[in-house]
Structure 1
Amino acid sequence: MTSVTDSLANGRPMLYTAYEMNRRAGAPVVAASELTARALHALPAPLAKAAGVRHVRAACDILAKARPTHDRPEFGIDAVRVGDRDVQVVEQPTLTTPFATLLHFAKPSAPPQPRVLVVGPMSGHFTTLIRPTIRTLLSDHDVHVIDWHNARDVPAEHGPFGLDEYIEHVMEALRSLGPDTHVVAVCQPAVPVLSAVALLAEADDPAQPRSVTLMAGPVDTRVNPNRVNTAAATRPITWYERRVVDTVPRRYAGAGRRVYPGVVQLTAFMSMNTTRHLTAHARMYRDLVAGNEAAAATTRAFYDEYGAVMDVPAEFYLETVARIFQQHDFATGRFTWRGRPVDPGAIRDTALLTVEGANDDICSPGQTEAAHQLCTGIPAERKRHHLQDGVGHYGVFSGSRWEAEVYPVLREFVESARAPERTARIG
């Protein structure tokens, strides 16, 4: 049977075909597991508690969900704690393009709070993956989020989507929100977000944000390179174009669009930490057998979200690999937007915070902090760097350390970022 891994190894542009063949082949096993699990859950208590039944039921529960999905999960944030009370949260789309929706997580009964634009990665997962970041921010901020669309659902007639279009989306979101906005870039969008801020600054646009926070983003991957950086640098861009880019099949709305399939990114992420993922599933199995439903549900919720994948426009994926991970255009001052040079030194009125995880094996410590050396126009007193001990990549923006140690730093930074007087321009 042809597999996605085989297709990658052999360099055949059959990713969609191989994946969907595997999916169809595995469908009977998934269906049988789901039916068996339902039947075993319906058994009366004495039988349901038998050791053999509990083991089979746990295995079937896991197998029934052991496959990727392709629909965006719900954010599911209906209320948050603001001060000493719970307030309702309502999702409101405020700006929509074929490739993204600007969502406002409105809190009608909350007092005025600092306005924050959250920009998440376009890297094979839906923006709902950073739900923990958004939920925590909502307690103290008026939160807006760019919710990227699945590229396989975007008709080809809407044209390509590369780094230029991504940067333009960030600028348009900031212009829509207006002055006094703070922007938070989570992971991958560090360079495009900083580029958008630099372009607004160079134009003296009133939409320049008060502050920008870059969280575990690859500003300069030459610093402390890891295996992700090494892998990206050792293969020509033509390798990626031939082997991990495919065309959306006719049965989808985006038929004919070239994409980096989300399932390929999921496979890559899973293979980077195979032992950790196997251990997590073994733990979930033991929790299900023992009847520890709460712990099992927490693990399952993570993998339900992790397994929800979206396709990425091929232009954006290939340009990111080539310009950020291989050529280091931004770090070396050669980055452009629609042919115009992008100068991070033009940023003078926006405060800068960078956050990194000490154990991050995807974006190594130092790669995000490099932004400080590039943003020469920001006074030192308006720059801050935070290195979080004891966390890897995802711990920077989710989990207990994010909530207890990273978020207080970000919150204090946003509160302290005052709008300075505009620096007079000469010439």
Structure 2
Amino acid sequence: MLYSLYEAGYYASTPLRFAARATRDFWSSPLNPAKDSDMGRRLFANADLFANLTRRYGRPAWNIDSVEIEGQSVRVRQTEVWSSPWVKLTHFTRDMADMRRAGRRELEPAVLIVAPLSGHYATLLRGTVEAFLQDHEVFITDWSNARDVPLMEGRFDFHDFVDHVREMLRQLGPRPHVVAVCQPGPAVLAAASLMAEDGEECRPGTMTIMGSPIDARLSPTVTNKLAEEKPFAWFKSTMIDTVPAPYPGMGRRVYPGFVQL
């Protein structure tokens, strides 16, 4: 019900958002002689703030067409090398002719960057990808929004998360590196542990965990403390809601990002 009310609020605000955009454009137009007045700047700022707060932001483009290596511009293209309904594994392929001109003739180590699953776009890590492209074959997870995955695809729980990480590491070949950014830390640690236990050839050569609370009891945040104060039943009844129409995942039970905020 909460998700439906949220969506209804978004669509109900559409006329106001259009009015705010029109107001913003009017007071920023170079043809408006009063645009630099104190009143004009205030009206523009208020309209701009309202328009931005009530809009939906789509998935940004990576905009990584080239990277500089050893002073040489190396062309980069994106290739989807593996996918499931829940994720696309993207390989940033560097042009080999450009790499040879930069003095790099051997295949460099592969690294899998596991981006946050919790509602962020993978493009949040654009700078990280560009940095790793200096010395690595870079792969990154581009997770789907659960509201866009049809109910017929089944559920996606922590065990599925671990299995996905294991399968993607296998795509990189023997002993790849893996970097977990924030929320995927525990799943990557579990996947690496299971692969090591099974002696898999593609188990990680190194594992780096950035900003991920492996032991949430240490340095507890407000979120950690809330988790200790409330029973599981409270989270299930308060935080989980059903995806409404017209999303492809209509009927799926999810933890909406706006609830977290």
- Cα distance in 1 for partners of 2:57, 2:126 equals 17
> The residue matched to 2:218 in structure 1 has which SS?
coil
Measure how far apart 1:36 and its partner are.
1.4
Q: Does 1:53 align with 2:48?
A: no
- Cα distance in 1 for partners of 2:225, 2:155 equals 28
- Cα distance in 2 for partners of 1:228, 1:261 equals 15
Measure how far apart 1:37 and its partner are.
1.4
> The residue matched to 1:204 in structure 2 has which SS?
coil
1:329-378: CA deviation from partner (whole Å, max 9, x where unpaired): xxxxxxxxxxxxxxxxxxxxxxxxxxxxxxxxxxxxxxxxxxxxxxxxxx
- Cα distance in 1 for partners of 2:134, 2:40 equals 44
Paired letter, 1:259: V
Q: Number of residues paired by the alignment?
A: 253
Q: Does 1:249 align with 2:244?
A: yes
In 2 relative to 1, CA 256–70 (structure 1 residues): closer, same or farther, beyond 3 Å? farther
> The residue matched to 1:140 in structure 2 has which SS?
coil
Paired letter, 1:192: A
Measure how far apart 1:68 and its partner are.
5.4
Measure how far apart 1:215 and its partner are.
0.7
> The residue matched to 1:90 in structure 2 has which SS?
strand
> The residue matched to 2:49 in structure 1 has which SS?
helix
Contact map agreement 1:15 1:244 (CA 8 A) in 2: no
1:250-277: CA deviation from partner (whole Å, max 9, x where unpaired): 3211111111112222x2xxxxxxxxxx
**Structure 1 counterpart of 2:12, from 20, 25, 28:** 25
Match of 2:143 in 1: 148
Match of 1:162 in 2: 157
Contact map agreement 1:120 1:185 (CA 8 A) in 2: yes
Contact map agreement 1:247 1:258 (CA 8 A) in 2: yes
Match of 1:16 in 2: 3
Paired letter, 1:116: V
Paired letter, 1:114: P
> The residue matched to 2:254 in structure 1 has which SS?
strand
Q: Does 1:62 align with 2:49?
A: yes
- Cα distance in 2 for partners of 1:83, 1:58 equals 44
**Structure 1 counterpart of 2:217, from 218, 222, 227:** 222
Measure how far apart 1:161 and its partner are.
0.3
- Cα distance in 1 for partners of 2:123, 2:55 equals 15
- Cα distance in 2 for partners of 1:135, 1:68 equals 29
- Cα distance in 2 for partners of 1:255, 1:237 equals 24
TM-score (norm 1): 0.56
Match of 1:383 in 2: none
Measure how far apart 1:43 and its partner are.
3.3
- Cα distance in 1 for partners of 2:26, 2:139 equals 44
- Cα distance in 2 for partners of 1:89, 1:55 equals 43
Over the aligned positions, Cα root-mean-square deviation in angstroms equals 1.7
Contact map agreement 1:99 1:148 (CA 8 A) in 2: yes
Match of 2:122 in 1: 127
In 2 relative to 1, CA 58–140 (structure 1 residues): closer, same or farther, beyond 3 Å? farther
Measure how far apart 1:46 and its partner are.
4.5
> The residue matched to 1:71 in structure 2 has which SS?
coil
> The residue matched to 2:53 in structure 1 has which SS?
coil
Measure how far apart 1:34 and its partner are.
0.5
Q: Does 1:180 align with 2:175?
A: yes
Alignment of 1:209-358 (within 5 A): 209-265=204-260, 267=261
Match of 1:77 in 2: 64
- Cα distance in 2 for partners of 1:45, 1:107 equals 48
1:91-111: CA deviation from partner (whole Å, max 9, x where unpaired): 111001000000011111333
Measure how far apart 1:40 and its partner are.
2.5
Alignment of 1:367-406 (within 5 A): none
Measure how far apart 1:127 and its partner are.
1.9
Paired letter, 1:209: P
> The residue matched to 1:89 in structure 2 has which SS?
strand
- Cα distance in 2 for partners of 1:127, 1:90 equals 16
In 2 relative to 1, CA 68–220 (structure 1 residues): closer, same or farther, beyond 3 Å? farther
* Paired-residue identity, %: 39
In 2 relative to 1, CA 217–68 (structure 1 residues): closer, same or farther, beyond 3 Å? farther
Note the residue ranges of structure 2 that are not aligned, 5 or more in a row. none
TM-score (norm 2): 0.90
- Cα distance in 2 for partners of 1:222, 1:233 equals 10
**Structure 2 counterpart of 1:87, from 74, 85, 91:** 74
> The residue matched to 1:65 in structure 2 has which SS?
helix
Paired letter, 1:24: Y
- Cα distance in 2 for partners of 1:158, 1:201 equals 29
Note the residue ranges of structure 1 that are not aligned, 5 or more in a row. 1-13, 268-427
Contact map agreement 1:68 1:263 (CA 8 A) in 2: no
**Structure 2 counterpart of 1:99, from 86, 104, 113:** 86
| Higher RCO by CA contacts (8 Å cutoff, separation 6 or greater) | 1
Query: Would you identify which runs of 4 or more consecutive aligned residues in structure 1 move more than 4 Å?
Result: none
1:6-35: CA deviation from partner (whole Å, max 9, x where unpaired): xxxxxxxx2212211221332222111101
- Cα distance in 2 for partners of 1:149, 1:126 equals 9
